[in-house]
Structure 1
Amino acid sequence: MAKSERIAILGSGNIGMSLARGLVKADYCKPGDITLTRRAVQHLSEEAAQGFKTSDQNSNAVSDSAVIILAVLPQQLNTLLGEINGAIDSKRHVVISVISGVSCADIKAKLGSDVQVIRAMPNTAIAIGQSMTCIASDNASAENIAEVTKMFETVGSVIKINEDLMTSATALCACGVAFFLRAIRAASQGGIEIGFHADEALKMAVQTAKGAADLLLLQNSHPEHEIDKVTSPKGCTIAGLNEMEHQGFSSSLIKGIKLSALKAGELYTKG
């Protein structure tokens, strides 16, 4: 697998389109190097105008590309694999799956045991180059893993994990975007209650959340270390934190992540 090889993204929904836009924005490839597929191809007219190749024929897209990215819903995967099975060449193609709850073995059972499959779990922040992507494989070469890592590093951070943790990565990183967005939304609503206009409260909550995340990322710090800096004895911060904990703030977030991981593991029916 080389950077110059054509890419087919089969299933151009939110993640597929976010990946395509992110790769182009990062200059990893040109729009014309990517084929986007969708059953209702007319919905890709805007992308076609931007230079992306579009198609409603998954098999043709595979034949024209070397890197195949599976980005359909789990319940659509078996149909997709049936469509492309005859077009897959294990000596030429590398298959990347961003589908929740589907193992490398599940895909190889349909496409052939010698097909190199790499699982990747990005999130929608990939569209702006800020994804947290986890990757895993049970048979891909070191060269292909390195190139897939490089691909996703152009659109965010990457960590290689054991495949048995990929469903957990879905809950923490992919579902996690929604969890943190909901927390920001709640903070902005609290801001409205204490006197700010809605647009002011949202901007303040968003920047505060970004600053908190950057404190950890840029200083390689720990949340409790940074919390200690703003919690003084009998102060307003510790009072607010303790009230949130009494109401189950941390517990509810932990339970939500655990439930999402459980659900993610049940989305795909091997059939």
Structure 2
Amino acid sequence: MNQFKGSIAILGSGNIGISLAKGLVKASYAEPGQISLTRRNIANLSMLADRGFITSTDNASVAASADLIVLAVLPQQLNQLLDQIKPVVNAEKQVFISVASGVSCADIRSKLGEQVQVIRAMPNTAIAIGQSMTCVATDNASKENVDEVIRMFETVGSASKINEDLMTSATALCACGIAFFLRAIRAASQGGVEIGFHADEALKMAVQTAKGAADLLLQMQSHPEQEIDKVTSPKGCTIAGLNEMEHNGFSSSLIKGIKLSAVKAGALYTKE
């Protein structure tokens, strides 16, 4: 991979920001010294400072010298952050990457200036192990800058460009979706305990089975129903279990949960 030549600022370095920074270095996208991290409690970044990352509590000074600026605070904290960095924005040089849920590119430009190039990105917590599904969207950034941001997030998983009007939906399906699949694994492990396994055994079995199911679809490029058909025989135990789950609303409840999360994600940010 060609190493990024500029500097990167990650403003609001919580779990997502720290994981992104580590992933970029692990994938040789950037060196620690190219990446600045900010956080109100800088003591939480001490281990990263020891590894060569630049750490600070001053968002404006860090943003002033960066080429790529990742806005990684909560939606409720974004307006305050934008007010802090607005005086140092250089629209000709800088690209802003927002991972804040429910905040449009236009919302950010209304605070920083209409000429600013803004790209939204929605990773999930699997970024911590380089397995994120990150959706990327923009309404004004150049193809070159979008391609660079996609390349950046591909160092920590998979990345896809989507239309901006689908970003809230991507939040529900990919970012919230991690929790939905984790809850399904947890439920499967509890079922395993009920049928005779110790809790640690049941969890290990459920986790590996879920991983195998996902890898089957990724590597075989197949549809879930194709793989389900391979393990459902007439009058068999698999179809009996599946039908019992469906009678109790398994698919329906998952769909409803995703839809509700999308509604909530779109209402996290207030412009004022």
* Shorter-chain TM-score tier: over 0.9
Per the normalisation by structure 2, the TM-score is 0.97
Say whether residues 1:43 and 2:44 are aligned partners.
Answer: yes
The residue number in structure 2 matching 1:93 is: 94
Identity %: 74
Which deviates more, 256-265 or 123-132? 123-132
Instruction: Report if aligned partners of 1:100, 1:170 keep a CA contact under 8 Å in 2.
Output: yes
In 2, the alpha carbon distance for the partners of 1:116 and 1:141 equals: 8
How far the C-alpha of 1:17 sits from its partner, in A, is: 1.2
What's the CA shift string for 1:168-219, capped at 9, x where partnerless?
0000000101110111111111111111111111111111001100111101
In 1, the alpha carbon distance for the partners of 2:46 and 2:81 equals: 22
- Equivalent pairs counted in the alignment come to 270
What's the CA shift string for 1:36-61, capped at 9, x where partnerless?
10111122112211221110000011
Instruction: Report if aligned partners of 1:41, 1:56 keep a CA contact under 8 Å in 2.
Output: yes
Instruction: Report if aligned partners of 1:136, 1:162 keep a CA contact under 8 Å in 2.
Output: yes
The residue correspondences of 1:54-73 to structure 2 (distance < 5 A) are 54-73=55-74
Q: Which runs of 5+ in 1 are unaligned?
A: none
The one-letter code of the counterpart of 1:134 is C
DSSP 3-state at the match of 2:151 = helix
The residue number in structure 2 matching 1:163 is: 164
In 1, the alpha carbon distance for the partners of 2:24 and 2:194 equals: 41
In 1, the alpha carbon distance for the partners of 2:116 and 2:151 equals: 21
The residue correspondences of 1:162-241 to structure 2 (distance < 5 A) are 162-241=163-242
**Superposition RMSD on alpha carbons, in Å?**
0.9
The residue correspondences of 1:249-264 to structure 2 (distance < 5 A) are 249-264=250-265
How far the C-alpha of 1:236 sits from its partner, in A, is: 0.5
In 1, the alpha carbon distance for the partners of 2:71 and 2:152 equals: 15
Extract structure 1 runs of 4+ deviating beyond 2 A.
none
Instruction: Report if aligned partners of 1:69, 1:95 keep a CA contact under 8 Å in 2.
Output: yes
Q: Which runs of 5+ in 2 are unaligned?
A: none
The one-letter code of the counterpart of 1:267 is L
In 2, the alpha carbon distance for the partners of 1:114 and 1:23 equals: 28
How far the C-alpha of 1:132 sits from its partner, in A, is: 0.6
